[in-house]
Amino acid sequence: MPAQTLEEVVSLCKRRGFIFQSAELYGGLQGVYDYGPLGVELKNNLKSAWWSANIYERDDVVGLDSSILTHKAVFCYSGHEDTFADMMADCYECKKRWRADHIINGKCEACGGEHFTQPRPFNMMFKTNIGPVQDEKSFAYLRPETAQGIFTNFKNVIDSTSQKLPFGIAQIGKAFRNEITPRNFIFRVGEFEQMEIEFFVKPGEDEKWHDTWVATRLEWWKKQGLSHDNLELLEQDKADLAHYAKKTVDIVYRFPHGIEELEGIANRTDFDLGSHTRHQNELNLSSNVKPNNESVSKLAILDQDTKQFIVPYVIEPSAGVDRGVLAILVEAYTEEALGDNKKRVVLKLKPHLSPIKVAIIPLARNNPELVDKAKAIKKQIQALSLGRVAYEDSGNIGKSYRRHDEIGTPICITVDFDTIGLGSNQSLENTVTVRDRDTMEQVRISITDLPDFIRQHILI
């Protein structure tokens, strides 16, 4: 059974080094988090699983890593300058500013005042001044999404690769939004990471591809360990759709704090390329775009059959990395009764996501032969390139097992005196005890057989 409250997960994250509040020692920076030694491995493993599934295992998607600092023209023509905003109102009494939809009962949360300014749009993009002079003109935006860096590189990618429609460009990276009310731990934050694909298709093939991507992405989340019962597809109402979107389906997850979006898959039509292209008028765009006289690139593809330029439609599966991490932690978090009124906390992560794949534990940490043998085995398993392998000598065996249950290590290997031929049973020389996280079963395995055994357990 997954975590029942967010607090259980937050507490585990702090205690075991998954996630900390940023600058905690100075009172914390609201809505900004740091990933600790285990969190960074979990997050990297999730990103790596996404990259493999969407780039390596396909022939029609390539990767990209565009900058965070973004030319202001990009967010002028993308529409973000005009529309990427929350409605805000100021309290007349104490001057505090609130999101209009958060002013409950018409009272200011700070002073109880009942009079507010008319709500006005408040843009959520962060700006920063660049160059030597601080003025109103010399600024860039911190991107609020990675998507635009893909659109602005469309021609560069076409020119430097041999991609033909349909094809996609995928990117993982940080994005920033000035969230007035960040909340629910790493769910809604000011600095976060996205995994986005912009998949370019011929107009007319967009609906089919949209369906395909919804199904593909849902399956992927299940492979990361999210259960069918906690996942749902939610089509956005036509009335709520962004003006450029033809259809959007959200993959939502049943978090302890509510059912919330993990990923949105939008059919964005020709809006994005149409917004950033030169010669908009010659391209027969179906979208309503802002006139663009600044772009120097034609973001269109010559159709070899019709000899006409076409502006591809875009299907965008856009997922939140941090939300994914949170859902995976919630789903994996398990408390199990062990009898005798004892319990254990076990993080039932899919092994390919586990921060530590294998822990190697010497039975005694002060015996040089045991330690050498354990370290040699650690080195051997590490060389399989399956992720982090830990040499663990921080407590007794029982404590080590519990600690690794709680952080989701799928396999613990104990090196004892039998292993080094100094135990009572000579036939056990060069064998180790292998313990399974989920079943807690222990088996004795020859060191020679470890690589195959571990590969079978760890790989997806």
Find the binding residues for a second copy in span 9-68 (CB under 8 A). Answer: 14-17, 20, 22-30, 32-41, 43, 52, 55-57, 59, 62-68
| Segment interacting with a second copy, rule: CB under 8 A, options 130-138, 224-232, 246-254, 324-332 | 130-138
Q: Tell me: does residue 168 bind a second copy (CB under 8 A).
A: no
Q: Which of 107, 115, 120, 127 binds a second copy (CB under 8 A)?
A: 127
Nearest CA to 219 among 238, 202, 198, 233?
A: 233
Task: Kindly tell me the sign of the dihedral angle through the C-alpha atoms of 335, 337, 342, 348.
Answer: negative
Q: Tell me: does residue 69 bind a second copy (CB under 8 A).
A: yes
d(CA 322, CA 191): 10
The nearest distance, CB 298 to a second copy, in angstroms, is: 9
Phi, psi of 54 (to 5 degrees): -100, -20
d(CA 312, CA 277): 12
| Segment interacting with a second copy, rule: CB under 8 A, options 129-137, 230-238, 252-260, 263-271 | 129-137
Q: Tell me: does residue 441 bind a second copy (CB under 8 A).
A: no
Q: Which residues in the 328-357 window bind a second copy by CB under 8 A?
A: none
Q: Which residues in the 192-251 window bind a second copy by CB under 8 A?
A: none
What tokens appear for 236 in the block? 């956005």
Residue closer to a second copy by CB (options 233, 460) is 460
How many residues can be counted in the chain? 460
The nearest distance, CB 170 to a second copy, in angstroms, is: 9
d(CA 14, CA 344): 18
Peptide bond just before 166 cis, omega within 30 deg: yes
Strand positions, DSSP E, 130-222: 139-142, 167-176, 191-201
Phi, psi of 326 (to 5 degrees): -65, -45
Q: Which of 190, 317, 362, 410 binds a second copy (CB under 8 A)?
A: 190
Q: Tell me: does residue 121 bind a second copy (CB under 8 A).
A: no
Residue closer to a second copy by CB (options 5, 67) is 67
Residue closer to a second copy by CB (options 16, 210) is 16
Rg (CA), the chain: 26
Question: How many chain residues bind a second copy (CB under 8 A)?
Answer: 91
d(CA 73, CA 143): 12
Residue closer to a second copy by CB (options 40, 241) is 40
Residue closer to a second copy by CB (options 195, 249) is 195
The nearest distance, CB 389 to a second copy, in angstroms, is: 7
Q: Tell me: does residue 73 bind a second copy (CB under 8 A).
A: yes
Residue closer to a second copy by CB (options 97, 222) is 97
Residue closer to a second copy by CB (options 124, 241) is 124
Q: Tell me: does residue 165 bind a second copy (CB under 8 A).
A: no
Residue closer to a second copy by CB (options 37, 421) is 37
d(CA 47, CA 320): 10
Q: Which residues in the 263-282 window bind a second copy by CB under 8 A?
A: 276
Q: Which residues in the 362-421 window bind a second copy by CB under 8 A?
A: 375, 378-379, 382, 385, 387-391, 394-395
Window 75-114: contact mask with a second copy (x via CB under 8 A) = -------------x--------xxx---------------
d(CA 9, CA 69): 33
Nearest CA to 113 among 95, 87, 88?
A: 95
Nearest CA to 49 among 41, 59, 38?
A: 41
Q: Which residues contact 159 (CB under 8 A, 6 or more apart)?
A: none
Residue closer to a second copy by CB (options 26, 137) is 26
Strand positions, DSSP E, 130-257: 139-142, 167-176, 191-201, 231-235, 247-255
Q: Tell me: does residue 123 bind a second copy (CB under 8 A).
A: no
Residue closer to a second copy by CB (options 218, 374) is 374
The nearest distance, CB 14 to a second copy, in angstroms, is: 7
d(CA 400, CA 404): 6
Burial class of residue 330, CB neighbours in 10 A (0-12, 13-18, 19+): buried
